[in-house]
Structure 1
């Protein structure tokens, strides 16, 4: 086993009121990095005359999540929030927690919910200049020209009002899959019952698992190829009797609508709960259910929360794992050589966007109670604040680097009227500096000075005062 690389120590001094921490990591090439992560929490305040909810700082700063948390505090359920201890997220995750509410609070058989993120009408900040992971590395002439080119094209990339995320999901009331009679063979999907609200959880989306009890009559009808081996059954020691067979949808094992043909025949099932969340362009149907049961297609889960780390397609981003590798004692497994850091983005792909700069408009439709004080006619609108967290460091020659953190996670919980924003910075651990301070810039003057400081034309010296 190749020893881990030595990572120089870094003293982290948090000069803000926000929860923040520093940890070290290595990538798939055994290069060490310092990671700084912090969180700012807000309360959704009252709407103004334009229907905009005002984000107000929490009385008690929001805490970082140091582990994944599941709905109902049960690991069998879908993930509610993921740990903030990710080394790097290439894009920003936008997550919505809470319930889907029928328009006007009136029962409906189906309705749509929408999450939308748009560029601000007038971006307050210009695009960040390209910078090396080592903030003290001189900015080359090539980088200067790249930045100037990016500024020239900013009208295209930062078009006022440009949609960064625009996602809709259809919600239905309870409905069932029923096996039809002799005159109409096959499966039928019942019409949904009216509903006022349902939880925004993957338990209501396409997916699920099926299990045949080991001591049941159905166990004897499970074909040999689908039966668990004795070794596999040993993993079910927490159950009184190990199952005879167990299958799950790899795209969402917590959902509903998944039932392979071998399971249906063994259990002689005639009724199943159907999904209540679906993409508008991929509606669930009895035909889809039949094709999936026969292994001819896959279910397509729709949701607004975190995708499970072990679910497809996210799991593929881990890369190629050597099945023959063995780990002993204090060995630390290395990342596969083809590991993709997009794995750390836990939101569905259509809920990821470029790292926000502040001022972006967020709109939620039918994702809050109609009488919520922060909503108007079932629509929540708010803008991300114009502020920055940045790390200030000084090297041995008294050169100063002020490096902004990036927003890479936004969690909107309409049930608790909270918005949590996670900021992150990844610096190469090359020993260039021994200490960094985390600082907060929120006034227009502070933000302008910080942006001027990061301009490639700016001379970096120790005279900068945050």
Structure 2
């Protein structure tokens, strides 16, 4: 099959496969947009290439990901991902900020599909201190003054505990258990991680606490407004009580592939599957490729939605508007262009297939929005040529108006 891309955007066609080992064609296209000082969106002069492999958040992180590969076979829903810095409000009286709200909202014609609000704190800690009764207990300190914070999983609830052999902490652990523990597959004497977010902070186990002799621990700086983190959550983690703790992980970016709720969508990987020749488990769910948090996934996007960010864009961006409290708001309207695929079949027939918008990545600090479109079609009848084309927004509007008119009896012969 030949692939032709008649658009100025990076595109690619490849073959996918489903749970029944049935192949299908996949055509993916990535658009890069920017905006001007009036918040009017346009295509960027430099179009970013397709993301062909997962990009880690930083060189030291193997679990936190900035973006995932565009070359997945299919996404049932659309991901809306925000890779941003939170900037504190700038009140007119100059009052310092210790915590503030950030928000993502998406709507179309007044219908709100995403409305997510998080609270960002200055640097704070869990401290083991004496209370008024003179008893030692864990308390959450007040946050320091904060002006900006990267909104990523490194500052959210989570983390991991590890004690290595040949260290002072390892010797303490050996002395506690009374024997020499076996070194595990990770090369550690003991290792536990918070599966929902190994890159985070706040998660602590009692054996790690004793081995290190800790009396203070960095606390998460990002949380859901309706799920505030308290010292009680740390006390739960210490004794291995995980009830409610997964719901504390707050972010706007990508949910880790190792997150239990996402990982189980891979399906049953047992010995029977491993020894079989089938490409995917029989209960594989394509939802595993939806990388955004569930409250940032939508069933369908048209491509002309309104995206609104609160306190998530650089204060120097002239497209921002501020309220009386100094909160910034960036409102971006997607342009409404519609990519589509034209299939030319071996039997001489041809057909058009709309592409689905299944990934939106917003990067306010770079003044960029990435749109990933995907079209999926069967391999039978045989396709000779697959072409990506683009319908400009004015043509899209005319086509919609014609459909609406026909539906109300205003078409031909009406």
TM over 0.5: yes
User: Structure 1 residue 400: deviation in Å?
Assistant: 2.4
Task: After superposing the two structures, state which structure 1 stretch, 98-107 or 220-229, moved more.
Answer: 220-229
Q: Distance in 2 between matches of 1:340 and 1:319?
A: 7
Q: Work out whether residues 63 and 256 of structure 2, in 8 Å CA contact, stay in contact via their aligned partners in 1.
A: no
User: Is 1:112 matched with 2:98?
Assistant: no
**Compared with structure 1, are the counterparts of its residues 44 and 443 closer, same or farther at alpha carbon in structure 2 (3 Å cutoff)?**
closer
Aligned twin of 2:412? none
Decide whether the 8 Å contact of 2:268 with 2:281 is kept in 1: yes
1 or 2, which has the higher strand percentage?
2
225 and 110 in structure 1: CA distance in 2 versus 1, 3 angstrom threshold = farther
CA contact (8 A) 1:319 1:339 kept: yes
Question: Secondary structure, in 3 states, of the residue corresponding to 2:365?
Answer: coil
Structure 1 residue 446: Cα displacement = 5.5
Identify which of 240, 254, 257 aligns with 1:309.
257
Q: Which residue of 2 aligns with 1:72?
A: 58
**1:189 equivalent in structure 2:** 140
Greater shift after overlay, 444-453 or 402-411? 444-453
One of 272, 279, 298 as aligned partner of 1:334: 279
1:131 matched to which residue of 2? none
- Whether 2:118 is the aligned partner of 1:176: answer no
Shift of 1:267: 2.0
Instruction: Give RMSD over aligned pairs.
Output: 2.6
The 5 A counterparts of 1:10-409 are 10-47=1-38, 53-76=39-62, 78-104=64-90, 107-119=96-108, 121=109, 161-181=110-130, 183-222=134-173, 229-230=182-183, 232-233=184-185, 235=186, 242-296=187-241, 297=243, 298-299=245-246, 300-323=248-271, 326=274, 334-377=279-322, 378-409=328-359
Rate the CA distance shift 1:83–1:59 in 2: closer, same or farther, 3 A.
Answer: same
> Using the alignment, how far apart are the partners of 2:79 and 2:55 within structure 1?
17
Task: Say if 2:21 and 2:278, in contact at 8 Å, map to a contact too.
Answer: no
The structural deviation recorded for 1:56 is 1.7
Paired residue for 1:416?
Answer: 366
TM-score (norm: length of structure 1): 0.79
* Residue deviations 1:106-163 (CA, integer Å, cap 9, x gap): 64111110000001x3xxxxxxxxxxxxxxxxxxxxxxxxxxxxxxxxxxxxxxx111
1:76 Cα offset (Å): 2.9
Give, in angstroms, the shift of residue 309 of structure 1: 1.1
Which residue of structure 1 aligns with residue 391 of structure 2? 441
Change (3 A) 1:450 1:67: farther
The equivalent of 1:426 in structure 2 is 376
1:181 positional shift: 3.5
In structure 2, how many angstroms separate the alpha carbons of the residues matched to 1:326 and 1:116? 43
Q: Which residue of 2 aligns with 1:157?
A: none
Checking the alignment, whether the CA contact within 8 Å between 1:81 and 1:306 is kept in structure 2 is: yes
Cα–Cα, structure 1 residues 305 and 225, in superposed 2: closer, same or farther, change >3 Å?
farther
Q: Which runs of 5+ in 2 are unaligned?
A: 323-327, 408-414
Shift of residue 225, structure 1, vs aligned partner? 12
Q: Unaligned regions of 5+ residues in structure 1, if any?
A: 1-9, 48-52, 122-160, 236-241, 458-466
User: What TM-score comes out, normalization by structure 2 length?
Assistant: 0.88
- The Cα shift of 1:335 comes to 1.5
Q: Distance in 2 between matches of 1:333 and 1:225?
A: 48
Cα distance, 1:283–1:268 mapped onto 2, change above 3 Å? same
1:191 Cα offset (Å): 0.6
8 A contact 2:98–2:121 mirrored in 1: yes
2 CA distance for matches of 1:227 and 1:191? 41
Task: Specify whether residues 108 and 436 from structure 1 end up closer, same or farther in structure 2 by C-alpha distance, changes over 3 A only.
Answer: same
Following superposition, the deviation at residue 19 of structure 1 comes to 0.2
Please say which of residues 203-212 and 423-432 is displaced more in the overlay.
423-432
Distance in 2, Cα, partners of 1:225 & 1:96: 49
**CA–CA distance in 1 between the matches of 2:397 and 2:50?**
25
